[in-house]
A and B are shown apart, each in its own frame.
Chain A
Amino acid sequence: MQEPGNSTQWTPEPTLITEPAPATWPPSPTEASAEAVVPPPPSATAFAPSETRHRLEFTGTAGEYFRIWIVNVALSIATLGIYSAWATVRKRRYFYASTKLAGSPFEYLANPVAILKGRLIAAVALGILVGASYISQILYFCLAIGLVFAVPWAIVRTLKFRARYSSWRGLNLRFDGTRMGAAKVFLLWPMLAPFTLGLLYPWIVAKQQEYAMSNLHYGQSRFSFTFQPGRYYRPILLAGLGFLICYIAIIVGVAIFAIAGDEFHPERSFVFWAAMGGTYLYATVATTYVRARITNLLWNHTSIEPHRFESALKARAMIWLVLTNALAVIASVGLLIPWAAVRTMRYRASCFTFVAEGDLDQFVAGATVPESAVGSEFGELMDFEMEFGF
C-alpha cells in the first residue's frame, strides 16, 4: 500500500496503466434498474444469451428544475438574451445528468460560448433576410430559396453538434451523415410527397429516422436501424384522415357563415373561436399520438450490436400528459413549465429500455473532433427537431 503523502517516491507526470483490467468490477447500483435474466444451463447452445434489461432512470425533480429554470429566464431577460446560451446548456446538463443508464449518468459537454456564437450568427442572418424583404422583393426571393437549400446543411450541423457533445461513461456520440443524404431525406422526398397525395409521407419519416440513426456512432460502434416503412402507415394515415375531416368541416362552416351573415368580423364570433379551439385541440391530440407511435418505431428498430433498444410509450398516456400540462401551464401563467417538463421526461424515461447482451464495458472510443455550433442554432431556429423522444 503506497503512501500518497510521500511525493518524492513518485514521478510528477501522470502515469496510467493502459491495459484495461478484466471486467470484474460491476457497474454501480443497477439492482434498481436491471432485471437480470437467468442464463440458460450450459447444455443449451442455440438459445437466448444473457440479456439484461436496463430501464432509463430519471432522477430530476420539479422543485430542483424550477429553480434552475426560473433563474435561466430571469438572467436571459436581464441580459437581453445573451445568457440564453448558458441557460440552454444548464437545462440540457441538468436533464442529461439526471438521466442514468445502467447506473451511469449522461453528460452534456457543449461550451455555452460556442452556442452563443451560433445564435448571434443565426440572428444576424435572420435580420438580413427580414431587411431584404423591405429592400427588394427579388433579393428576398433569392435569399429565401437559398435558405431552403441550407436546410440539409443546418440539419447535419444540428445532429453533429448534439451528438458530439453528448457522452456516456466517457465516450461521446458521433454523427457522420452527409449533406447529400440529408438533402434527399429532408428536401427531395418531402418535395415529391404532395404528388403522391401524401401517401409517401410515412415512408419519408422512416427514411429520416434511418438517416438519423444509421449514421450515429457511440465510440467506435455504429448504431443500426431496421428500415420497415410499412409500420409507419397506420398511425400517420389515421391522423391525416382526421385532419382532412377537420379541414372539410372548417370549409363547410366558413361557407355557411359567409352565406348567412353579412358582416365580416370573425373575431367577434363565438362560433369562430370555438371552431379554432376545437381544431387546435384536435391538432394537439393527433400530433401527440403520431409522435408517440413514431418514437416507439424509432427505438424498436434501432440497435447497437449486440445490444438493442425498446420503447413502449402509450399514446393515451402521452395525450393525457400533454393536455394536463397545457392546462397547468396556462393556469399557472407559465410557472408550471418546469414541472411539466420533468413530468414528461420521467414518463418517457420509464418507457425506454436498453436491452444489453453481456456487459457494457466493452465500448471503445473513436476519434473526436470539436464541432462548431454555427448552423446547429439555425436548425433550432427553423424548428427542426428530430423526434428522438428526448
Chain B
Amino acid sequence: MSVTLTALYYDGRVSRGVPVTVERSADRLIVIWGENVSLELPASAVRPMPRVGSTPRTLHLPEGHLECPDCPELRIWFGHGSRFEAISDWIERRWPAVLASALIVLAGIVLFTQYGLPWTAKVVAHRVPVELQDRLGRETMLLLDKRFLKATNLPVDRQAALRERFDRVKEGLAQASRYQLEFRQGGPLGANAFALPSGTIVMTDELVGLAADDDEVASVLAHEIGHNELRHHLRTALQNSGLFAVAALFTGDVASASSWTVALPTTLIHSAYSRDFEREADDYAVDRLHRVGLPPGAFARMLRKLDEAHPLDGRMAYLSSHPETLERIEAAGRRTAALARP
C-alpha cells in the first residue's frame, strides 16, 4: 500500500510553485512528479526542516524545496531533520509536558532570584581581588563632592576623636588600611553615611550631630565597613546582571528585556536585594562593635534617633532600598541581647 503525498514544488529559480505528488518507490527512492517536474532521488538527499507547531512542512532538495502539510510519512521517510529540535517538538505537543515546563520555569526563576543568584554572586564576589573594586568608587566620590557635599564644619579635635573611634572599629581587619574616613556637610543628603567600593567611608556632620555619643557614631561606621567587607557593591552589580540575563532568556531577546514591563518586576527585585544587604550590614555592625569591645546596643540607639529625626513614608516599602527602620531596630536589639547572653 504505497502512500502518495501532495505537495508544492519550488525549484528555487523562479517564484512559482507547482503541485506535485511525492511517493516512495519499492527500492526506497523518492519520486516527485508534476507538470514539467519529474525527479527521483534517494531519501537521504531530502532535508526536512524540523517541525514547529502546525506550520507547513518544508523539505529541502538539492535543487529547490517541497512544501506540504505535516503528516506521519514525513518522519518515516525523512526523519526529524534535527534530533535536538525533535525533543523540543515532542515536549511542545504534550500538554502535561508543557505544563511541567511552565512550572519548572516559574519555580526555577523564583529559586534562582531568591537563592541561586545571591549565593553565586556572594561566592564570586569574595573571589574577586579587592583592588578591582576600587575603580567602582572613584568617580562617585568626585561626583558627590561636586554636586552635593561641602567641606565639613566639624572642629578638628572632634574629627580626631571620631577618627580614633574609627580606627578602633576597623582594628584587626585584613583590609583595614583601605578604609579611610571622610567628613562632609550633608546638605540635601541630610544625616547620612555611605561606603564607596574603594574603602572610603563618608559621614555627614548632620549624622554626627544626631548621635548622643561617639559609640553611636562608631556603630554607623561599623555598618558602612560591613558593606565593604561583605562586598555588597560587587554583589549588587553581579546580581543585577544576572537578573538582566534571566529577563533576556524569558522574553526571548535582549531588546524586550529592557522594556518597562520587565523593568517593573526587576526593580522590585533590586530593591529586595538592597534590603537584604542592609540587613546583613546591620548584623555585621552589631557583631563588630561587640568584637572590638564597644557597646553593641549603640547601633539600635542610633537607628532610633535616625527614625525620629527622619520618619520615612511606609507606603513605598516594597520599593525602598532599606528595610523599615522599626524592623531594623528590633533586629539590632535582638542580636545585641543574644550577644549579651553568656
Contact = CB atoms under 8 A, between A and B. Distances in A.
B8 interface: yes
A345 interface: no
Contact of A68 (B92, B95, B251): B92
Interface in B9-29: 10-19, 23, 25-27, 29
Contacts of A4: 23, 25, 31, 33
Interface in A69-94: 69-78, 81, 84, 86-88, 90-91, 93-94
Interface residues of B, number: 86
A385 B255 contact: yes
Nearest to A89: B85
A58 to B, nearest CB: 11
Interface in B85-107: 85, 88, 91-93, 95, 98, 101-102, 104-106
B312 A268 contact: yes
A77 B246 contact: yes
Nearest to A329: B261
A361 B14 CA distance: 7
A335 interface: yes
Contacts of B260: 280, 283-284, 326
A7 interface: yes
A87 B261 CA distance: 21
Given A68-B53, A77-B246, A258-B188, A7 B27 contact: yes
Given A73-B249, A134-B132, A171 B190 contact: no
Residue with the highest number of chain B CB atoms closer than 10 Å, among A10, A93, A330: A93
B190 A14 contact: no
Chain A interface size, under 10 / 10 to 19 / 20 to 34 / 35 or more: 35 or more
A40 interface: no
Given A7-B26, A170-B15, A365-B14, A14 B40 contact: yes
A210 interface: no
A329 B261 CA distance: 7
Contacts of B37: 16-17
Nearest to B62: A14
Contact of B58 (A107, A171, A264, A265): A107
A17 B316 contact: no
Interface stretch (A22-30, A45-53, A233-241): A22-30
Nearest to A15: B38
A107 B65 CA distance: 11
Contacts of B95: 67
A241 B12 CA distance: 50
Contacts of B17: 25, 27-28, 104, 169-170
Nearest to A221: B15
Nearest to A75: B88
A14 to B, nearest CB: 5
A76 B252 CA distance: 9
A93 B54 CA distance: 11
B67 interface: yes
Contact of B92 (A25, A67, A326, A361): A67
Interface of B: 2, 8, 10-19, 23, 25-27, 29, 31, 33, 35-41, 45, 49-50, 52-56, 58, 61-65, 67, 84-85, 88, 91-93, 95, 98, 101-102, 104-106, 108-109, 132, 135, 188-190, 192, 245-246, 249-255, 258, 260-261, 263-265, 271, 310, 312-313, 315-316, 319-321
Given A2-B33, A19-B36, 4 more contacts: A64-B54, A94-B55, A280-B260, A360-B15
9 A-B pairs with the lowest CB-CB distances in the bound complex, closest first: A170-B10, A97-B55, A361-B16, A363-B15, A74-B101, A169-B15, A67-B92, A4-B31, A14-B39
Interface of A: 2, 4-5, 7, 10-12, 14-17, 19-21, 23, 25, 27-28, 60, 64-78, 81, 84, 86-88, 90-91, 93-94, 97-98, 104-105, 107, 109, 133-134, 137, 168-171, 219, 258, 262-265, 267-270, 273, 280, 283-284, 326, 329-330, 333-335, 337, 360-365, 380-381, 383, 385
